[in-house]
């Protein structure tokens, strides 16, 4: 057993022991906490995987009784699978997770801690500078930008702001990187003024053709970072071999087909166990993405397993009469509604024409008319006042015939 594997097993034992003693949901399972390394995997395999709906329906029972409520940082998933969810971490847990992510970034770009960074940030609580459209604030060497409005004029303004600040590194989604690349391709003078040292893709699936096009225009390799709001890092791309290695410092990854655990090399649903979270541990959590784990050697020398993700979140856009908006905005807006008290269990938005959208909500609360008007108004504000949104409320929202449950389906035009 090498040092990395020993640390992995030690972290897993600590998380399981804590959950069985201090988290009501796991306490009720009546499982004896593992005391030896040999018992750990057997104990884990006795736990039935849970999904977003399981946690959403009984959220507080997944919180540790040893964590003071006022020490929790409440976060909400983007709802990219059509199921928004609330999760929680302490500031210490967030810092511990991010420390290893920054180490990975430095392996790609040793000077990154001194770079001026453009971070596309979904929170509107950051300070907005009216004279710089799309700029939410600047903290130390990090410039926070809005990922929502991706119309030509808006992206052009974002590029101008990056030029003014001398941005060297970008943290963004594929959809944002694509639009930046298109803008710079059509503006050679701006392209030559920006010299990128590091570009990180934050979670949307990145196809080979997208990668090639973006890297060619921006003049910098993309480092793919596969993660989720629930536990942050799941896998990080190595610089040497260009493969996604499981972030074994932060996640234990399994692959399932229904209730059956699959072997390495077999494709199925990605199931996660967090290794650094005790306030709200995720144990055998069904993420909703598809993929497979490989254990063959990578040329980079990293011995952690690699993961191939085949069902990750795709980059997409809502294209209205007035502007193009990233689907990131849609998922963020649902999170805002959940934060405001609307009990949205599932949702899906289908664009049927440039100015027509069908929104279906699995909703168990009151004030449906108010919810429909608030959501419709948010789309009109972003896409154009002529946009018509038809809202429908149901008890359950089944997957599409493909078996997937996306939050957004574009039936109007290719993006």
3 state DSSP class of 384: coil
Model pLDDT, residue 62: 97
Average pLDDT, the chain: 87
CA distances to 50, 73, 311 from 251, rounded to whole Å, are 16, 20, 19
Model pLDDT, residue 411: 87
Check whether 125 has a pLDDT greater than 80.
no
Model pLDDT, residue 335: 82
Model pLDDT, residue 128: 43
Range in 171-175, 182-186, 202-206, 374-378 with the lowest mean pLDDT: 202-206
Residues 282 and 355 in one domain: no
Residues 269 and 342 in one domain: no
Structural domain that includes position 352: 317-410
Model pLDDT, residue 289: 85
3 state DSSP class of 192: helix
Check whether 78 has a pLDDT greater than 80.
no
The stretch 90-96 carries a mean pLDDT of 94
The stretch 372-381 carries a mean pLDDT of 95
Q: Which of the pair, 341 or 279, is modelled with greater confidence? A: 279
Render pLDDT for 11-50 as a digit per residue (tens, 0 to 9).
Answer: 999 999 999 999 999 999 988 877 776 788 888 999 999 9
Residues 328 and 363 in one domain: yes
Check whether 311 has a pLDDT greater than 70.
no
Q: Which of the four pLDDT bands, split at 50, 70 and 90, describes residue 127?
A: very low
The stretch 203-214 carries a mean pLDDT of 86
Residues 92 and 8 in one domain: yes
Residues 255 and 400 in one domain: no
Task: Write down which residue in 309, 325, 353 finishes a domain.
Answer: 309
Return the CATH number at 263.
3.40.50.12780
Asked whether residue 164 is assigned to any structural domain, the reply reads no
Task: Write down which residue in 286, 309, 332 finishes a domain.
Answer: 309
Asked whether residue 304 is assigned to any structural domain, the reply reads yes
Check whether 121 has a pLDDT greater than 80.
no
Range in 70-79, 80-89, 310-319, 356-365 with the lowest mean pLDDT: 310-319
Residues 235 and 270 in one domain: yes
Q: Which of the four pLDDT bands, split at 50, 70 and 90, describes residue 325?
A: confident
Range in 113-127, 137-151, 373-387 with the lowest mean pLDDT: 113-127
Please answer whether residues 273 and 285 qualify as being in contact, where contact means their C-beta atoms are separated by less than 8 angstroms.
yes
Sequence-separated (6 or more) residues with CB below 8 Å from residue 368 = 391, 393
CA distance 252 to 307: 12
Return the CATH number at 348.
3.30.300.30
Check whether 316 has a pLDDT greater than 80.
no
Model pLDDT, residue 315: 55
Q: Which of the pair, 151 or 26, is modelled with greater confidence? A: 26
CA distance 391 to 256: 34
Render pLDDT for 224-267 as a digit per residue (tens, 0 to 9).
Answer: 999 988 999 999 999 988 999 999 999 999 999 989 999 999 99
Number of domains in the chain: 2
Residues 90 and 238 in one domain: yes
Asked whether residue 402 is assigned to any structural domain, the reply reads yes
Pairing of strands 268-274, 222-228: unpaired
Asked whether residue 30 is assigned to any structural domain, the reply reads yes
CA-CA-CA-CA dihedral for 265, 266, 269, 275, to nearest 10 = -40
């Amino acid at each position: 057993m090498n040092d990395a594997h020993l640390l992995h097993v030690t972290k897993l034992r600590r998380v399981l022991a804590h959950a069985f003693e201090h988290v009501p949901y796991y306490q009720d399972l009546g499982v004896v906490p593992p005391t030896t390394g040999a018992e750990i995997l057997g104990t884990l395999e006795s736990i039935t995987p849970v999904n977003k709906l399981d946690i959403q329906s009984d959220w507080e029972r997944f919180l540790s009784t040893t964590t003071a409520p006022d020490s929790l940082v409440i976060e909400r998933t983007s709802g990219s699978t059509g199921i928004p969810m609330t999760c929680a971490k302490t500031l210490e847990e967030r810092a511990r997770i991010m420390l290893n992510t920054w180490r990975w970034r430095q392996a790609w770009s040793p000077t990154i801690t001194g770079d001026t960074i453009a971070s596309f940030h979904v929170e509107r609580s950051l300070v907005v500078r009216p004279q710089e459209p799309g700029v939410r604030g600047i903290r130390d060497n990090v410039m926070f930008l809005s990922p929502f409005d991706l119309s030509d004029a808006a992206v052009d303004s974002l590029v101008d702001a990056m030029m003014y600040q001398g941005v060297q590194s970008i943290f963004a989604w594929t959809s944002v990187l694509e639009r930046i690349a298109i803008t710079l391709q059509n503006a050679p003078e701006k392209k030559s003024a920006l010299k990128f040292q590091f570009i990180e893709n934050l979670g949307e699936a990145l196809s080979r053709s997208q990668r090639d096009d973006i890297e060619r225009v921006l003049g910098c390799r993309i480092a793919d970072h596969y993660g989720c709001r629930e536990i942050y890092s799941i896998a990080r791309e190595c610089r040497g071999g260009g493969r996604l290695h499981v972030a074994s410092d932060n996640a234990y990854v399994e692959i399932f087909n229904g209730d059956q655990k699959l072997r390495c090399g077999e494709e199925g649903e990605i199931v996660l166990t967090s290794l650094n979270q005790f306030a709200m541990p995720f144990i055998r959590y069904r993420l909703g993405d598809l993929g497979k784990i490989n254990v063959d050697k990578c040329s980079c020398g990293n011995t952690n397993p690699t993961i191939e993700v085949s069902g990750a979140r795709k980059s997409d856009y809502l294209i209205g009469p007035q502007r193009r908006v990233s689907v990131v905005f849609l998922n963020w807006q649902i999170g805002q509604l959940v934060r405001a008290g609307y009990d949205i269990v599932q949702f899906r938005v289908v664009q049927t024409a440039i100015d027509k959208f069908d929104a279906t909500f699995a909703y168990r609360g009151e004030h449906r008319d108010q919810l429909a008007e608030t959501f419709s108004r948010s789309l009109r504000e972003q896409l154009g006042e002529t946009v018509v949104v038809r809202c429908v409320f149901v008890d359950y929202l089944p997957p599409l015939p493909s078996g997937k449950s996306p939050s957004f389906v574009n039936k109007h035009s290719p993006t």
